[in-house]
Structures are given as structure tokens and as C-alpha cells.
Amino acid sequence: MPSHDFLPSEQPVQLLDQDGRRVEDPEHEFPADEAMLRAHEALVVGRRVNEQAYALVRQGRLAVYPSSYGQEACEVAAALVLADQDWLFPTYRDVVSIIGRGVDPVETLTLLKGDWHCGYDPTEHRVAPQTTPLATQLIHAVGVAHAATLRGEDTVVMAMCGDGATSEGDFHEALNFAAVFKAPVVFFVQNNEYAISVPLARQTVAPSLAHKAVGYGMPGERVDGNDVAALLSVLGTAVDAARSGAGPSLVEAHTYRMQAHTNADDATRYRQDDEVEKWQGRDPLLRSEAYLTGRGLLTDERSASISARAEAVATVMRDGLMQDVAPDPADLFDHVYATPTPQLREQAAFLADELSREGVS
């Protein structure tokens, strides 16, 4: 295949403009009405999840929360285009995607509460543990995809990362291996303009992050990351191609992190308010709502039902994370090695003795 066939479009694919009006694109199929309604419901739920999680941070129930507020269209579409047998490899910012795959919201947030484990069984919904090191999950994602191919399984892997991860060596190793072995992986880059405080211009001078795909012999595409219709279409096409044996691809979504990197970040130190305000008018939730309302698909009754479901999810989060769980000191030593080392056994015995002297069982 000629290398020019791998190049992304000059402008990000867009099927809904900023005001929710449909944009005709002969190369990309517009999603069906039911798919758009399902995506809108997931957007509303995702926005409520972000709001509730931030409140739980302020109440001391979450240690940290990397918000995807404003990026929910990316989160929603990544989950919706996958089949049950597919795998999602998320980052720390992809809570909404994980919940979209069916993982319990409280279990999803367990890691961010400060627990020692990810909180859920990755095999139940085929969602890998959230990762905080940048790009390490991409290599694991490629490994799962390659293993599935060797076993003859009908599996596609959605490997999510941010723009900051594209500056890591693991990103390049993952893309190269996937391309050489035609692994069924979709590398999904949420380009939200900043790697914490480092702007994209300080990371690369490439025309776009999607252009990096051509260097590895795979197609790249750019998409409006605040347009859920375009995301469903572009990601869906990429998943279908991977499933058919066409190999991996890279999709770059142009979006924006409306809130701080995490609750521990002061975003005002590296970006201006007018920049944030510019993106507020591109809100994916408002865009979807305008389109569906204009089509007569989003009635008051359905809108109320969606809001009720979103509030039910928020209630589950509140109730679950407000529960105090007594820590077990033995957890410090369990699950470190399959067979504990002499040093671990000695340390465990020392702690048990200290606790027994203090009357702690």
C-alpha cells in the first residue's frame, strides 16, 4: 500500500459542527439515530460522573481525580464501538470509558481512592487496569492483541493514551510491533493540548500526531474529539478494519481538557482563561443535545429519563465511596510474591507482633 494512503485528512473529520448541525462527509458514514441517542445518554452520564468525582475529591473520598470533563465524547465513543469480546486499555483519565464498558463505578474509582489494587476484575469486562505511567499500557495492549491473533480469536484492542504519551519510547515500540505483526489494535490518542503543563508545541513539530502513523506503516486519521458522531464513525471504521485483518491504525482526537490535569494541578499557571472559554463553546454534550433535539429525537421525557439514570450513577458513587473500609495491615505483604521471601515473612511477623502488643487483631 502506498505511504500516502496512510496519511490522515488535512482537517479533523467532523460530522456535527459546533452548533450541532450535521456536516456532510461522503467518506464517513453518519451514525444511526439509535447509536446517537445511546451515545448522548452516555455523554450525560459521563458528565455527571466527572462532576460527582470532583465533589468526592473535595470531600476527601478520592485521593486524586484526573477529570475528562469536556472530553466525554472520546470516552464514550471508545467504549461504544467495541464488541463484548474486545479489550479496552485505558489510562488514568479514562474513568468514563471504563464505566461505559460496564465496570461498576465504585470499583472503577477504587484505584483513585488510594487502594493498592485497581478495584475490578479486568477479565470480567475486558478492561485492563488503569495506568498512571505514560504509554506502558500500549505495549501490554499490543501483546494482548497479538496473543488473540495467535489463538485465532475475534478480538480487537482499543489502546488509549494522551498526547503526552506519544513522547514516550513505549509509544513507538508499541506502534512498531503492532504494525510489523498486523496486530488488531486501534491506538486512540486524545490530544487535549497539554501533557500536564507542557503544550503540544513543546512535544512535537509534526503536522499532527496522526501523521506519526505513516512512519510505522499504518493508517492515521484525525477527528474532532468533541464530535461524538465523527468519533463513532472514525473509531468504528478503525475497529472494523482491525477485526477484518487489516492491522492497526492510529486515531488522533482533537479535544481539550477543560479542568485541571488533576485536583492537585493549578492550570492557571500555564494557560489563559480565554483559551478555556474558546473551548467551552465546543462542548460535546451541548453539540449532541442540539442535534438530537433539532431532529425531534430527544424528547423532554427521554431527556428526563437520561438525567435520572445519570443521577442514579452519581448516587452509587457517593454511597459506595462514603463507606469507610478498615485497612488490613497484612495487605502490605500479600500479593507481592507468589512465595513470600524470608524478608517479607520476617517483616510480616514483626508487624503482627507489634499489633498484638497494641491489642490490634
Beta pairing, strands 194-195 & 87-89? unpaired
- For 284-321, the pLDDT digits (tens) are 999 999 999 999 999 999 999 999 999 999 999 999 99
Query: Distance of CA 344 to CAs 116, 337, 341, Å?
Result: 17, 9, 5
The C-alpha atoms of residue 56 and residue 79 are separated, in whole angstroms, by 24
pLDDT for 326 equals 82
The C-alpha atoms of residue 176 and residue 250 are separated, in whole angstroms, by 12
pLDDT band for position 10 (50/70/90)? very high
- For 52-91, the pLDDT digits (tens) are 999 999 999 999 999 999 999 999 999 999 999 999 999 9
- For 172-192, the pLDDT digits (tens) are 999 999 999 999 999 999 999
Q: Are the beta carbons of 37 and 292 closer than 8 angstroms?
A: yes
- Annotated catalytic residue within 257, 282, 287, 291: 257
pLDDT for 360 equals 67
Give me the residue spans of the domains in the chain.
3-326, 328-361
- For 23-38, the pLDDT digits (tens) are 999 999 999 999 999 9
pLDDT for 279 equals 93
Closest CA to 51 of 347, 335, 331, 307: 307
Is 70 exceeded by the pLDDT of residue 130? yes
pLDDT for 5 equals 74
The cell for 297 is: 429525537
> For this structure, is 117 an active site residue?
no
> For this structure, is 257 an active site residue?
yes
- For 110-119, the pLDDT digits (tens) are 999 988 889 9
- Annotated catalytic residue within 21, 117, 270, 345: 270
Is 90 exceeded by the pLDDT of residue 42? yes
89 beta partners: 159
What is the arithmetic mean of pLDDT over 139-155? 98
- Which residue type occupies 1? M
pLDDT for 2 equals 53
What is the arithmetic mean of pLDDT over 202-215? 95
Q: Are the beta carbons of 31 and 229 closer than 8 angstroms?
A: yes
Is 60 exceeded by the pLDDT of residue 1? no
Phi, psi of 158, rounded to the nearest 5 degrees:
-95, 110
The C-alpha atoms of residue 31 and residue 39 are separated, in whole angstroms, by 10
In the chain, the percentage of residues whose pLDDT exceeds 70 is 98
The C-alpha atoms of residue 281 and residue 283 are separated, in whole angstroms, by 6
The C-alpha atoms of residue 275 and residue 272 are separated, in whole angstroms, by 5
Radius of gyration of the chain (CA): 22
Which residues 6+ apart lie within 8 Å of 14 measured at CB?
23, 25, 223, 224, 227, 230
Query: Distance of CA 72 to CAs 94, 99, 129, Å?
Result: 9, 12, 19
CATH T-level fold of 3-326: Rossmann fold (3.40.50)
- Annotated catalytic residue within 261, 282, 287, 291: 261
pTM of the model: 0.93
Torsion sign (Cα): 62, 42, 118, 179: negative
Q: Are the beta carbons of 87 and 127 closer than 8 angstroms?
A: yes
What is the arithmetic mean of pLDDT over 233-239? 98
What is the arithmetic mean of pLDDT over 197-210? 94
Q: What is the mean pLDDT of the chain?
A: 95
What is the arithmetic mean of pLDDT over 208-232? 97
> For this structure, is 269 an active site residue?
no
